Amino acid sequence: MRFELSQKFFFDAAHTLRREIEAEPSRRIHGHTYQVEVGIVGTKNEATGMVFDLGFLRRDIAVLRDELDHRMLDEVIGLGTPTLENICLYISQRLQSSASLQYVKVWRESIGDSCTLRLS
């Protein structure tokens, strides 16, 4: 049997963005609350009863969250242009050593945007 585990967290951050539509407000510094869900899929280890100890994932998320929370995303090294797609990719790269991630989903509840990166 395969199980899917997930962990959710959020961070608040500011950024700018160059785009063709809604160009002027996007170029100004503005912020969002970003919601994130990361998912792991695997089989249960009979000795531990777990696919993965989520305590390790929460520990690594705390470090990652500190890199993003109340930051100017334009200045986060390795993120690139602060799009939803690049935020998903950045999170997956930062967490890949802690677990076998299957997906990363990032969304902004207030405006309804979301992006999911499927890793398998």
pLDDT in tens, 66-84: 999 999 999 999 999 999 9
Which letter does DSSP use for residue 120 in this model?
-
Dist CA 88 CA 14 (whole Å): 16
* CATH code for the domain of 98: 3.30.479.10
CB–CB of 7/57 below 8 Å?
A: yes
| pLDDT reading at 49 higher than 70 | yes
Residues near 71 by Cβ (< 8 Å), separated by ≥ 6?
13, 14
Domain count, the chain: 1
Dist CA 26 CA 63 (whole Å): 28
pLDDT in tens, 15-45: 998 867 676 666 789 999 999 999 999 999 9
Dist CA 98 CA 3 (whole Å): 17
Residue 72 is part of which domain span? 2-118
What is the mean predicted confidence (pLDDT) over 102-116? 96
pLDDT value at residue 114: 98
pLDDT value at residue 27: 76
